[in-house]
A and B are shown apart, each in its own frame.
Chain A
Amino acid sequence: MAESLVDIISMLLLLGGGLFAVIGGIGLLRFPDVYTRLHAGSITDTLAPLLIVSGLVLQSGFSLLTFKLLLILLFLLFTTPTASHATARAAMIAGIKPVGGEKTGDKGASSSNT
């Protein structure tokens, strides 16, 4: 009984991961400019691996495979921010203006008093 409960949780995690990956993919197509698409891409890069790897880890239990899976997850979580930041910075330097523009007015003023 306990075994099948683990199976069910793992199935839900896998399906959830797949669902979030597709949502991120839709966002990738739907959003208007580079920076917003970067945010959509970061859904597929953080939550989807998190859910899918947890689901797979529950399947395999404690083994060498689990170690490697966790290593992949750790590596993805460490590198994707760097890659996103590098892309955003490069686009910024290339002079691509974000949609919505720079809100230095009210937002900037409120941030300076905090």
Chain B
Amino acid sequence: MRYFISLSLTLAILWLGLSGVYKPLLFILGGLSIALVVWLTERMEVLGAEHDPGLWSWRLPVYWAWLLWQVVLANLMVARAVLSRKPVTPSLFRVPARQHTLVGRVTYGNSITLTPGTVTTCLRNGDDEIEVHALLPEAADDLHSGAMARKVDWLEGRQR
């Protein structure tokens, strides 16, 4: 039930933000669309743990801000590699992912992919390692140092 309320609220905000026309007819249409989408998600059984509003904590914006900063730094690194004459030395390796929850591990894998220079190539359920392809040795070293893993652990800390 909690899931349905949070989903309906999100959809309502989305509708109000996107339409920009505030007339009774559009409110009725919006209500109908929200009901339709909620019904469809229930029928498709796609509503899961990741829609739990309890996952929203004050740590999430802090993590996003940190991640954005990492993305900017990694971008500068990759841009320098593009412009330099040297050939790149990519590598494929595995890093441990010992986050407790599935959501935590997926967050970690997705963060690795979002940061330029590293792409998650394989993340299996029940396997506590992530296979990563890195463009530069520096990017690989960053991952091996485990700074991002610790940050995701910290993000996970309050969530369960």
Contacts and interface: CB of A to CB of B under 8 A. Distances in A.
Contacts of B145: 114
B90 A100 contact: yes
A43 B113 contact: no
Interface in B70-91: 71-72, 75, 78-79, 81-83, 87-91
Contacts of B79: 20, 23-24, 27, 43
Interface stretch (B27-35, B117-125, B151-159): B117-125
B113 to A, nearest CB: 4
Interface of B: 14, 17-18, 20, 68, 71-72, 75, 78-79, 81-83, 87-96, 109-110, 113-114, 116-122, 133, 135, 140, 144-146
A60 interface: no
The residue in B72, B83, B133 that gathers the most chain A C-beta atoms within 10 A of its C-beta is: B133
A12 interface: no
B68 A36 contact: no
Q: Is the interface of A mostly helix, strand, loop or mixed?
A: helix
Chain A interface size range: 35 or more
A77 B115 CA distance: 10
Nearest to B90: A100
B135 A50 contact: no
A80 B114 CA distance: 7
B89 to A, nearest CB: 6
